[in-house]
A and B are shown apart, each in its own frame.
Chain A
Amino acid sequence: MDSILIAILALSALALIFGIILGYASVRLKVEGNPIVDQIDAILPQTQCGQCGHPGCRPYAEAIAAGEAINKCPPGGQATIDQLAELLNVESLPLDAEHGTEDVRKVAYIREDECIGCTKCIQACPVDAILGAAKLMHTVIVSECTGCDLCVEPCPVDCIDMIPVATTIGNWKWPAPPSPMQIIATDRVQANEESPV
């Protein structure tokens, strides 16, 4: 009889202790928000362009976490989709052409003598990359521009161009070597004939 009582008491005590620990942990170690949203947001390119149909990258990250398709981000392109697929352990999809196509990186350029200083582009810029004041000429801070092209539409005088970023020695990338299958033995003669000088 005693042994049964002891067992019941011991188990109750254990249950109580663990209950207290768990209760404390659930309060103390509570996670605010959905951590997966942060991880998705970290992968998205942060152009805040809205091409996905959401007002910025974080809302799209939230939508993806809620089950939306991962292929709606043209600025990120296939690389971003692949990363998202890996993170979420889902099938990678080709980029949804409905939301735009992958393009070279661009930056906005304001033709300064045509600018009337309406500040509309400044209000549209999601990253505050446009500098200017009312009735004074505006200009784009190139290093801050994400190339989202949101400033082009509001401009009443159409003085904003999206210019592709030029390749310089600083940002040049080594090209991928040609696939070995592209060079077949009969092409060797031609390859030999190529003389650069």
Chain B
Amino acid sequence: MTVYAFHGGIHPPENKLQSTQLPVAQANLPSHLIIPVLQHIGMAADPVVSIGDHVLKGQVIAEPVGRLSVAIHAPSSGRIVDISQQPVPHASGLESECIIIETDGEERWCEVEGLEDYTQVAPHRLIDFIRSKGIAGMGGAGFPTDVKLHLGDDHIVNTLIINAAECEPYITADDMLMRTHPEAIIGGIEIIAHLLKPHHIVIGIEDNKPEAIAALEQAAEASKWPIDISIVPTKYPSGGERQLIQLLTNIEVPSGKIPADVGIVCQNVGTAAAIHEAVTSGRPLISRIVTLTGAALAQPQNFRTLLGTPFSTLLEQAGVDHSRLSKLIMGGPMMGVPLTSAHIPVIKTTNCIIATTAEEMPAPPPAQACIRCGLCEQACPAQLLPQQLYWFSKGKEFEKARQHNLFDCIECGACAYVCPSNIPLVQYYRFAKSEIRNEEIEQRRADHARARFEARKERLEREAALKAERRKQRAAEAAAAQAERKRAAAKAAAQPTATASAASEQGDLKALKVAAALARTKLSKAEKALKNARDKGLEGIDKLESTVAELVARSAEAQALYDNALANAADKTGEPEAATETQSTAHAASESSEVASPAPSQKVDLKALKQDVSIMRTKLKKARATDPDSSEIEHLERRLEQASATLKQAEDQQIAAAAAEGIDLKQLKIDAALAKAAVTKLERAANAAQTDEEREQLEAQLPQRRTEAQNLASQLARFE
């Protein structure tokens, strides 16, 4: 098979031999397994177990959420002791949600069953089966495998490429897997091929793994699928997806596209083996091979490790020398991330742990200025201009960096490796990428907020318009109702006049009395409205005034009618009491017309009435003292009686007025409370003010506010 070439690339020391001297060992079972719910790209899985639950090996402990997600299974049997935030393998060193299982050492499996013959199962059911087994790409990114297996639905897949290059120094996990389980890999490839139906299957493997190549070739011969094994020269980063595709097919995946767009799907050997295991035996992805290497280990070796095993367990098993250990790296030396803690667990994408000594990986020398030598450009496998990207990232000219295809950078580190000035180029690119992504998120958020803000504004406007319309409608209704009432009142006013002549019965008398009282009440109400209008300077005062005048006339008329009727009745019966009553009511009528004068004078009237009563009383006393038998006494007595009756009536009216003012009283109360709150707020603000100037300003406002509040309070007190 022809092997092509990709641009750039480097040849760092391989350092792979150290960890291939010993066979793959079984890692010890730790006392606690820490299982992050996010071990793949996409949405974190949702825990379906709770603390205290007993779980069996292979049991689902977290269900996938959404399209881009996979299930998580218990790697061993035991008890869930905690679901909490724990440090996870991530460049940030931050914590994330983890399920912690206290292992019981029994390694009891739950019931698992593979598919007898996957070729007889509908493809979508087979893919769902694989999804339910928690399989995500094991090469490094952890992309949910089932999503890639669906690519056959909407893409024509010509070539299936199995990535066995494992180009990064130190890592030998895939190498050891190929040596030990070539038939599982070939089996997995057959399942993938069954789903994707490619015309062509190629395994891309670097020429530094002769044993693995031999094992694979042997296994591939037995397969019914034509599987090519293409041996590529050792060069970093030939294991990059796009680089391997170019090596094997000479097709360059366009920027911003995925390999499936050019008819290619890539899978890692580890993933293929995991698919085979899941489909044939039903066992989910709960363990993987992890390379433990580095000069600080006595026995660099590969371990078949349960997911969730803390790195410390593996390091101890590999004989770590803590005195020599200087740096712990997860992944390879080129793309891996330094770790801050050894209690971080192995996850689906953990392929290597490097425990280095200070001599093996010294701290990077200080970065010097870029000398524009151009070596980075020659090393870049993505054919970018690392130097330009560096300047733009450093100067935070992210838009320009993006125009120079920053997002095609695979962060392989080849540029930084060759840089004679030791500039941490990849760090700059990662920084720029995350800034750009962040800006995009902010932009999306802003757009979303704008949409919501505008929707709200529109809603408020709509509501206001609706309210205005309703108000208009109500006003029209009220006007109609008022006109109706007026007509009715006119009728009622006409009726008494008509009936007055005929009124000789007691019942009519009563009706007249009621009419007179009604007229009085109406009058007082109108007065109140007038007063309110005057106080607040509302419109239509003149109208109200005319109404009041009219009502005064009407009330007097009603009273006169009643009096007439009463006098008639009294004439007929000749009862003196009735006459008295007539007199007193006549007085009351005049009184009520007095009341008809605007409310402010009411108080004065009340006073005058009181004075009248007391004067009358003294006169009576005097008369009694001078001449007890005088007819004048009787006269005075009657007058006193009248005066006190009038006074009482006036007082009653005022009480009624206060009661009728109930609504205003409420308003007054609220105003008073608000004023009080304003004062306290101001006081607090003055206390909290930072500069003297501000305080003075605030304090200057205080007295005014205080008097306002006091005014309102005193008003309120008067009513209460």
Q: Which residues of A contact B (CB under 8 A)?
A: 41-42, 44-48, 56-57, 79, 126-129, 144, 146, 167-169, 171-177, 180, 183-185, 187-188, 191-192, 194-197
Within 8 A of A (CB), among B56-90: 88, 90
Within 8 A of A (CB), among B415-458: 423-424, 427-428, 430-431, 433-435, 438-439, 441-442, 445-450, 452-453, 455-456
Closest B residue to A192 by CB, please name it.
B363
The reply to whether B427 and A177 form a contact with Cβ atoms under 8 Å apart is yes
The reply to whether B325 and A197 form a contact with Cβ atoms under 8 Å apart is yes
Q: Interface stretch among B335-343, B513-521, B649-657?
A: B335-343
A47–B448 Cα distance when bound, in Å, is 10
Instruction: List 13 A–B pairs whose Cβ atoms lie within 8 Å, in order of A's numbering.
Output: A46-B445, A79-B439, A127-B456, A144-B448, A144-B452, A146-B449, A167-B92, A168-B94, A169-B90, A171-B438, A180-B367, A183-B367, A197-B341
Closest A residue to B94 by CB, please name it.
A169
Known: A180-B367, A183-B367, A197-B327. A174 touches B362 (CB 8 A): no
Known: A169-B38, A172-B94. A46 touches B449 (CB 8 A): yes
Within 8 A of A (CB), among B447-494: 447-450, 452-453, 455-456
| Residue numbers in B under 8 Å from A44 (CB-CB) | 446
A64–B431 Cα distance when bound, in Å, is 32
The reply to whether A173 and B435 form a contact with Cβ atoms under 8 Å apart is yes
| Residue numbers in A under 8 Å from B453 (CB-CB) | 46, 48, 56-57, 126-127
The prevalent SS among residues of B at the interface is mixed
A31–B358 Cα distance when bound, in Å, is 67
The reply to whether A57 and B92 form a contact with Cβ atoms under 8 Å apart is no
Closest B residue to A156 by CB, please name it.
B677
Known: A180-B369, A191-B363, A192-B358. A174 touches B91 (CB 8 A): yes
A144–B446 Cα distance when bound, in Å, is 10
Within 8 A of A (CB), among B313-361: 322, 325-328, 338-342, 358
The reply to whether B452 and A174 form a contact with Cβ atoms under 8 Å apart is no
Shortest beta-carbon contacts, A-B, top 7: A180-B367, A46-B446, A177-B427, A46-B449, A183-B366, A174-B430, A127-B452
The reply to whether B328 and A196 form a contact with Cβ atoms under 8 Å apart is yes
| Residue numbers in B under 8 Å from A144 (CB-CB) | 448-449, 452
The reply to whether B342 and A185 form a contact with Cβ atoms under 8 Å apart is no
Closest B residue to A44 by CB, please name it.
B446
| Residue numbers in B under 8 Å from A196 (CB-CB) | 327-328, 338-340
The reply to whether B438 and A168 form a contact with Cβ atoms under 8 Å apart is no
- Report the minimum CB–CB distance from B119 to chain A (whole Å): 40
Q: Which residues of B contact A (CB under 8 A)?
A: 38, 88, 90-92, 94, 96, 322, 325-328, 338-342, 358, 362-363, 365-369, 423-424, 427-428, 430-431, 433-435, 438-439, 441-442, 445-450, 452-453, 455-456
A56–B340 Cα distance when bound, in Å, is 45
| Residue numbers in A under 8 Å from B94 (CB-CB) | 167-169, 172
| Residue numbers in A under 8 Å from B363 (CB-CB) | 188, 191-192, 194
A42–B439 Cα distance when bound, in Å, is 13
- Report the minimum CB–CB distance from A153 to chain B (whole Å): 11
Known: A45-B446, A197-B327. A176 touches B431 (CB 8 A): yes
- Report the minimum CB–CB distance from B363 to chain A (whole Å): 5
| Residue numbers in B under 8 Å from A167 (CB-CB) | 92, 94
Closest B residue to A184 by CB, please name it.
B366
The reply to whether A46 and B38 form a contact with Cβ atoms under 8 Å apart is no
- Report the minimum CB–CB distance from A40 to chain B (whole Å): 12
- Report the minimum CB–CB distance from A139 to chain B (whole Å): 17
| Residue numbers in B under 8 Å from A129 (CB-CB) | 452
Closest A residue to B326 by CB, please name it.
A195
| Residue numbers in B under 8 Å from A185 (CB-CB) | 366
Q: Name 15 extra pairs, CB < 8 A, besides A185-B366, A195-B325.
A: A44-B446, A45-B446, A46-B449, A144-B449, A146-B445, A169-B92, A169-B94, A172-B434, A174-B427, A180-B423, A183-B367, A195-B326, A196-B340, A197-B322, A197-B327
A144–B453 Cα distance when bound, in Å, is 11
A48–B460 Cα distance when bound, in Å, is 16
The reply to whether B456 and A46 form a contact with Cβ atoms under 8 Å apart is no
- Report the minimum CB–CB distance from A86 to chain B (whole Å): 9
The reply to whether B431 and A174 form a contact with Cβ atoms under 8 Å apart is yes
| Residue numbers in A under 8 Å from B428 (CB-CB) | 176-177
| Residue numbers in A under 8 Å from B433 (CB-CB) | 174
A191–B365 Cα distance when bound, in Å, is 9
- Report the minimum CB–CB distance from A54 to chain B (whole Å): 13
The reply to whether B88 and A169 form a contact with Cβ atoms under 8 Å apart is yes
- Report the minimum CB–CB distance from A42 to chain B (whole Å): 8
Closest B residue to A175 by CB, please name it.
B431
A122–B430 Cα distance when bound, in Å, is 40
| Residue numbers in B under 8 Å from A184 (CB-CB) | 366
- Report the minimum CB–CB distance from B166 to chain A (whole Å): 26
- Report the minimum CB–CB distance from B312 to chain A (whole Å): 10
A126–B450 Cα distance when bound, in Å, is 10
Closest B residue to A177 by CB, please name it.
B427
- Best-buried of A127, A171, A175, A187 by chain B (most CB within 10 Å): A127
| Residue numbers in A under 8 Å from B438 (CB-CB) | 171, 173
| Residue numbers in A under 8 Å from B91 (CB-CB) | 174
A128–B456 Cα distance when bound, in Å, is 7
| Residue numbers in B under 8 Å from A46 (CB-CB) | 445-447, 449-450, 453
| Residue numbers in B under 8 Å from A174 (CB-CB) | 91, 427, 430-431, 433-434
Closest B residue to A123 by CB, please name it.
B460
A47–B445 Cα distance when bound, in Å, is 9
| Residue numbers in A under 8 Å from B338 (CB-CB) | 196
- Report the minimum CB–CB distance from B366 to chain A (whole Å): 4
A84–B418 Cα distance when bound, in Å, is 39
| Residue numbers in A under 8 Å from B430 (CB-CB) | 174
- Report the minimum CB–CB distance from A94 to chain B (whole Å): 16
A184–B369 Cα distance when bound, in Å, is 12
Closest B residue to A125 by CB, please name it.
B456
- Report the minimum CB–CB distance from B91 to chain A (whole Å): 7
A191–B340 Cα distance when bound, in Å, is 15
| Residue numbers in B under 8 Å from A173 (CB-CB) | 431, 434-435, 438
A174–B448 Cα distance when bound, in Å, is 25
A46–B423 Cα distance when bound, in Å, is 38
A135–B433 Cα distance when bound, in Å, is 47
A171–B446 Cα distance when bound, in Å, is 16
- Report the minimum CB–CB distance from B371 to chain A (whole Å): 12
